[in-house]
């Protein structure tokens, strides 16, 4: 006997107004939608059965067409330094990765915005898997909610960084919808200052972001100081070059213009010379900027090397002498390939 199973819509990913509409469409009062919003995001209750505040009839009506679907944790690997890499299996059997990084007083959750990435940076493992699809708002939020449910985010303060797989500004609508639910005090209640979106430099979207009322922190993956080098490393530079990228960073209205972080991957013999450091100072002149130096995380499939610690230190010193706040990103989760640019999952099951 065949059973026809219409896929139910996911309630995770819907905002308050949409949940109100869901409630009304089922003949319920609008406050039932607001209750649902509270139950899902604030109380992190993922079973309709357990939502005893809601009338039983309403819940059973909901159950007919909706469900609460959190991405499934397919695998988790813990590094010697405490970093945990989560492998999520999505409902179409695609996989994404997220990384939880414990630091002294906080935890940072690095989440994905797309399955794969089509920007094609030559030093990045995610680029090797190509682009599959954008994540939905529910899948973006689902990474945070699933890890919270797994018990790994029990402490109240944590940061979220969009530095996993994908280019978040190529999935801007879904990323911003998830961001608004994350920051809503009636939902996840994270401070918008604790959320960072990292981009390879999608200038038209950055330009559009200037008119948002609330923004996450911005991190720009600069990674080179000359257009010819950046053209090679990050093909997106052939569309929007360093001048256009830095101009749009400078043009953020002052109320939104918090300090922008510039990420800079140090590739031995390619981007790590003293001259690069001096050029970087010139490029950032007059900007409220912070620099994160990321020593390249090697992969045998890619033709780059990590600079020596001395080289990294020398590069940092040059920037510090020019009064630019500069941090060297400590490599975390090395033994489980959970570091920046190492997230990629090539296996993908086909529908059975």
Least separation, in Å, of the C-beta of 351 and ligand SF4?
A: 26
Out of 39, 139, 263, 272, name the contact with ligand SAH by CB under 6 A.
263
Does the protein bind ligand SF4 through residue 200 (CB under 6 A)? yes
Considering 39, 97, 139, 263, which one is annotated as catalytic? 97
Interface pick for ligand SAH out of 48, 99, 163, 277 (rule CB under 6 A): 163
Closest CA to 218 of 230, 237, 202: 202
- 199 close to 221: Cβ distance less than 8 angstroms: yes
DSSP code string of 300-311: TTSS--PPPHHH
Is 117 assigned a catalytic role? no
**Residue 124 in the binding site for ligand SF4 (CB under 6 A):** yes
Choices 47-55, 89-97, 117-125, 305-313 (CB under 6 A): range interacting with ligand SF4: 117-125
H or E stretch covering 140: helix 137-149
CB of 276 to ligand SAH, least distance (A): 15
Task: State the binding string over 226-245 for ligand SAH (x if CB under 6 A, else -).
Answer: --------------------
Residue 148 burial by Cβ neighbours in a 10 Å radius (0-12, 13-18, 19+):
middle
Smaller CB distance to ligand SF4: residue 15 or 207?
207
Sequence-distant (6+) residues with CB within 8 A of 213 are none
Q: How far is the CB of 100 from ligand SF4 (least distance, A)?
A: 19
- Pairwise CA distance, residues 15 & 137, whole Å: 10
Q: What is the three-class DSSP state of 244?
A: helix
Alpha carbons 280 and 263: distance in angstroms, whole number = 11
| Number of shown-chain residues binding ligand SAH (CB under 6 A) | 17
DSSP element (H, E) containing 218: strand 217-221
Give the total residue count for the chain.
Answer: 352
Q: Known catalytic residue: 212?
A: no
Candidate residues 51, 109, 127, 144; the one interacting with ligand SF4 per rule CB under 6 A: 127
Answer yes or no whether residue 206 interacts with ligand SF4 by CB under 6 A: no
The Cα 111–Cα 146 span in angstroms is: 12
State in angstroms the smallest separation of the CB of 152 from ligand SF4: 23
Which spans of this chain sit near ligand SF4 (rule: CB under 6 A)? 117, 119-121, 124, 126-127, 166-167, 200, 221, 341
Q: Which residues are catalytic?
A: 97, 340
């Amino acid at each position: 006997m065949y059973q026809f199973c219409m896929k139910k819509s996911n309630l995770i990913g819907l905002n308050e107004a949409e949940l109100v509409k869901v409630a009304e469409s089922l003949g319920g009062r609008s406050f039932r939608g607001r209750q649902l919003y509270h139950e899902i995001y604030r109380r992190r209750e993922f079973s309709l059965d357990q939502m005893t505040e809601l009338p039983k009839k309403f819940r059973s009506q909901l159950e007919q067409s909706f469900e609460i679907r959190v991405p499934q944790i397919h695998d988790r690997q813990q590094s010697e330094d405490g970093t945990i890499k989560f492998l999520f299996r999505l409902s179409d059997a695609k996989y994404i990765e997220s990384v939880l990084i414990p630091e002294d007083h906080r935890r940072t959750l690095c989440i994905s915005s797309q399955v794969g990435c089509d920007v094609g940076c030559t030093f990045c493992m995610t680029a090797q898997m190509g682009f599959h699809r954008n994540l939905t708002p529910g899948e973006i939020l689902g990474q945070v909610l699933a890890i919270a449910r797994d018990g790994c985010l029990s402490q109240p303060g944590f940061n979220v960084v969009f530095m996993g797989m994908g280019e978040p500004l190529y999935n801007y609508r879904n990323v911003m919808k998830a961001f608004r639910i994350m920051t809503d005090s009636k939902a996840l209640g994270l401070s918008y200052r604790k959320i960072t979106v990292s981009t390879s430099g999608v200038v038209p979207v950055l330009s559009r972001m200037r008119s948002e009322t609330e923004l996450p922190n911005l991190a720009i993956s600069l990674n080179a100081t000359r257009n010819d080098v950046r053209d090679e490393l990050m093909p997106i530079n052939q569309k929007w070059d360093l001048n256009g990228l830095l101009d749009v960073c400078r043009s953020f209205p002052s109320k939104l213009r918090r300090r922008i972080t510039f990420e800079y991957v140090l590739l031995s013999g390619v981007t790590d010379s003293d001259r690069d450091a001096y050029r970087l100072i010139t490029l950032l002149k007059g900007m409220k900027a912070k620099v994160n130096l990321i020593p390249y995380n090697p992969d045998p499939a890619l033709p780059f090397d990590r600079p020596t610690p001395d080289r990294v230190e020398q590069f940092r010193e040059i920037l510090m002498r020019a009064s630019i706040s500069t941090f060297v990103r400590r490599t975390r989760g090395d033994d489980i390939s959970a570091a920046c640019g190492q997230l990629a999952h090539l296996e993908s099951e086909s529908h059975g």
